Amino acid sequence: MNKSSITTKEGNSGVKNKTLSLYRKLEKYPFGKGVFSIMVSRVAPYFATISPKITELEPNQCTCLIKKRKKVFNHIKTVHVIAICNGLEMAMGVMAEASIPKNLRWIPKGMTVDYTAKAGSDIRCVAQVNSEDWLPGDMLVNITAYDENDVVVVKGHIKLWISEKPSK
């Protein structure tokens, strides 16, 4: 998503965020979350390879669903870990766009994951940080993927570089 999408005023935080506002507007409609997810996948086309759906978005947390289907299978017909990492990265990116203070920008630096169980069902990918973590420098975003029984199938973190936006 475009890193310049964070601007104006909203709610208790005093900051309106275009990404979060768009999600909240669309989620009220039938298929709205799906439309939002397609829009994100058009900005970052690789995400479309897993047909993800953002199911929850709040400041500092995002959940993305990957349906178990043939196009994300590995050789043993479970959800391939790279598809899961793609979903985790999408959840992180949308969370970051919906959460970062307007004077900051972010870029990913790396991902570290552990595969903890077979992914034999739909997968729920969650990215979350604490609001006080948004400071210049390295920041770790916690990422966790769960199966339909809430078993953790992948866990780890994505390292972001947070920096001040340049003066205009």
Percent of the chain with pLDDT over 90: 83
Higher pLDDT among residues 168 and 57, named by residue = 57
CB 106 within 8 A of CB 96: yes
The CATH number linked to 38 is 3.10.129.10
What is the reported pLDDT for 16?
77
Strands (E), 20-136: 53-58, 61-66, 104-115, 123-128
Residues 47-92 have pLDDT tens digits of: 999 999 999 999 999 999 999 999 999 999 999 999 999 999 999 9
Q: Is residue 62 part of a domain?
A: yes
What is the reported pLDDT for 19?
92
Q: Is residue 38 part of a domain?
A: yes
Residues in the chain, total: 168
- CA–CA gap between residue 159 and residue 37 (Å, rounded): 23
Q: How distant, in Å, are the alpha carbons of 22, 35, 45, 162 from that of 133?
A: 24, 30, 28, 10
Q: Is residue 118 part of a domain?
A: yes
Structure tokens at 154: 């992948």
Q: Is residue 7 part of a domain?
A: no
Q: Is residue 87 part of a domain?
A: yes
Q: Is the pLDDT of residue 15 over 70?
A: no
Q: Is residue 3 part of a domain?
A: no
The confidence band for 167, taking pLDDT boundaries of 50, 70 and 90, is confident
Percent of the chain with pLDDT over 70: 91
- Sequence-distant (6+) residues with CB within 8 A of 137 are 161, 162
Mean pLDDT for the chain?
90
CB 152 within 8 A of CB 111: no
For residue 159, give the H/E element and its range: strand 152-164
Q: Is residue 105 part of a domain?
A: yes
What is the reported pLDDT for 3?
37
CB 143 within 8 A of CB 157: yes
Give the range of the structural domain holding residue 59, as residue numbers without chain letter: 18-164
Tell me how many domains the chain contains.
Answer: 1
